[in-house]
Amino acid sequence: MLSHLEKQQTVLEIQGQTILKGEVIISGAKNSALALMAGSLLCSEDCRLRNLPSLVDINRMTQVLAALGVKLQRTGDILEINARNIGKSQAPYELVSQLRASFFVIGPLLARLGMTRVPLPGGCAIGARPVDLHVRGLQAMGADVRIEHGEVHACVKGSRSRLTGAKIYLDYPSVGATETIMMAATLADGETIIENAAQEPEIIDLANFCCSMGAKIRGAGTNKIVISGVERLHSTDYHVIPDRIEAGTFLVAGAITQSEISLFPVIPEHIASAIAKLRAIGPKVIIEEPNRLRLIPAPLRATDVETLPFPGFSTDMQAQFMALLTLSEGNSVITETVFENRLRHVAELQRMGADIRVKGNIALVRGVPFLSGAPVMATDLRASAALVLSGLAAQGKTLVQGLHHLDRGYDSLEEKLRKLGANIRRVNLASEEELNSYSTVTS
Ligand code: EPZ
């Protein structure tokens, strides 16, 4: 029987092998919204963000900004922000430790206030997640940066009140470091050039957001971004791009359940690598209008996947495609090159009957004819999505635990899947009848 601790858990119960049908609405992009919220600190006037997803991570970023003195008002998918009085220049540890992305406030705070203290975000399930590239970029722009007692202390050196534009080469095209440096550079004195910059769509969205406030940024989306500093930024009303990772996750939901579904809104070029991979595996992906995709299912064939910085195949889609490839005929080699510990979903997929062998950062997946439902534990955000996808395809019932991971990054996933016809519901295992329906022996 489940232990007492597990009894108290809310879990997703999925009855597999239901065909999906219909259209799913894709929410605003988590990884863009978080950066834009940090970017709103650059401006002392009203900012409005539209198409914001409802996620735990967004709520946490709202708390971080509020703790810094920012005024925020959320109405539906609209967030009104006013960072006029960001007196306190220190983000609280207990909030930053729960949301790594809150470290992105360091660039805007330094640019606005000339000094700041931000707790080191620390690692997470998928890796150590260092911030050395962020720090080195700010130092190149004239900040004195020290790490003491788990906090990054940064202040503009000497008598200068502003950061100074610099030429910065990133050893790795880090998304976060590119965002930190780009935001800080918008108010710096002079021109900043970021070479080997990240090219993810979220970088373009952040650059467009900053430009809508009067920043001067060229080259976002390429590996060289040029920012000419300005004195101050003004208010804006900005619409966040759709979430490419949520879109990719739903494409896999259609493919893994052999269902024809459509997705809207989607920006196809944001998931070109995932679309290409899906087509290699078998399904058809049709671009019906500028921002609507239709998936036509087909028998699944093995293929190889290597995660790379954009425009390569996204690491945030690796777990979902592994779930799909466990049911694809033949052998697939999956190589995770971005994070050092992002194969933890393998053990849970194996519990469902997947045939996977891991050597270092490489997983060899041998396709099996079917998966069988089981109680499984999510280990991180995208792993939880992979387990839901596997549950949708598996024979019998799957119980996905560890939903705090899922709720960080997916807006109403089970409601959206249920609307497509999936047999999925959130249950509290404390209720007796739920317990009796699972005769599981915990390991
Ligand atoms: C962003 O994380 C995303 N998060 C991640 O999405 C995504 O997986 C990642 O970019 C890669 O695309 C947000 O945007 C909030 P990185 P970030 O800096 O910025 C190393 C999800 O599931 N690195 O590009 O932290 C780092 O260790 C999340 O939605 C340094 O060495 O990613 C990693 O190996 C997970 N030093 C690699 O770069 C640094 O200073 C990529 O990290 C920074 C990063």
Mean pLDDT for 178-186 is 98
Residue 101 neighbours by CB distance under 10 Å: 22
Neighbouring-strand partners of residue 168: 194
pLDDT at 9: 77
pLDDT at 73: 98
Query: Which of 69-83, 147-161, 264-278, 359-373 shows the lowest per-residue confidence on average (mean pLDDT)?
Result: 147-161
- 259 CB near ligand 1 (under 6 Å): no
Q: Convert the pLDDT of each residue in 399-430 to its tens digit.
A: 999 999 999 999 999 999 999 999 999 998 76
Q: Is the pLDDT of residue 196 over 80?
A: yes
Q: Convert the pLDDT of each residue in 114-125 to its tens digit.
A: 999 999 987 788
Q: Convert the pLDDT of each residue in 281-305 to its tens digit.
A: 999 999 998 899 999 999 999 999 9
Q: Convert the pLDDT of each residue in 335-344 to its tens digit.
A: 999 999 999 9
For tokens 């949301």, the residue is 99
Q: 220 and 182 in contact (C-beta within 8 Å)?
A: yes
Q: Convert the pLDDT of each residue in 207-250 to its tens digit.
A: 999 999 999 999 999 999 999 999 999 999 999 999 999 999 99
- Comparing C-alpha atoms, which of 218, 223, 215, 174 is closest to residue 196? 223
d(CA 245, CA 247): 5
Distance 81 CA to ligand 1 centre (A): 26
Q: 2 and 440 in contact (C-beta within 8 Å)?
A: yes
Q: Convert the pLDDT of each residue in 19-39 to its tens digit.
A: 999 999 999 999 999 999 999
pLDDT at 144: 96
C-alpha distances in angstroms, 76 versus 34, 222, 246? 17, 33, 19
Question: In whole angstroms, what separates CA 15 from the centre of its chain?
Answer: 27
Nearest CA to ligand 1 atom 16: 174
d(CA 174, CA 167): 16
pLDDT at 125: 81
d(CA 303, CA 89): 49
The model carries a pTM of 0.95
- Tokens representing 340 are 């050092």
> Which residues are tagged catalytic?
124
- 201 CB near ligand 1 (under 6 Å): no
d(CA 188, CA 405): 37
Torsion angle in degrees (nearest 10) through CA of 345, 351, 354, 355: 100
Q: Is the pLDDT of residue 440 over 60?
A: no
Q: 188 and 163 in contact (C-beta within 8 Å)?
A: yes
Pocket test for ligand 1, best of 147, 310, 321, 338 (most atoms within 8 A of CB): 338
Q: Convert the pLDDT of each residue in 102-149 to its tens digit.
A: 999 999 999 999 999 999 987 788 888 889 999 999 999 999 999 999
Provide the phi-psi class of 239: left if phi over 0, else alpha when psi is between -120 and 50, else beta.
beta
Mean pLDDT for 325-353 is 97
Neighbouring-strand partners of residue 75: 78
Mean pLDDT for 351-355 is 98
pLDDT at 20: 98
Q: 63 and 72 in contact (C-beta within 8 Å)?
A: no
For tokens 């080469």, the residue is 169
- 22 CB near ligand 1 (under 6 Å): no
Band of the pLDDT at 437, cuts 50, 70, 90?
low
- 339 CB near ligand 1 (under 6 Å): yes
Residue 326 neighbours by CB distance under 10 Å: 29
**Which backbone phi and psi does 425 adopt, to 5 degrees?**
-150, 155
pLDDT at 88: 61
pLDDT at 308: 98
Band of the pLDDT at 89, cuts 50, 70, 90?
low
Mean pLDDT for 351-375 is 98
Q: 392 and 370 in contact (C-beta within 8 Å)?
A: no
**Which backbone phi and psi does 325 adopt, to 5 degrees?**
-75, -15
Q: What is the mean pLDDT of the chain?
A: 93
Band of the pLDDT at 439, cuts 50, 70, 90?
very low
Instruction: State which amino acid sits at residue 149.
Output: H
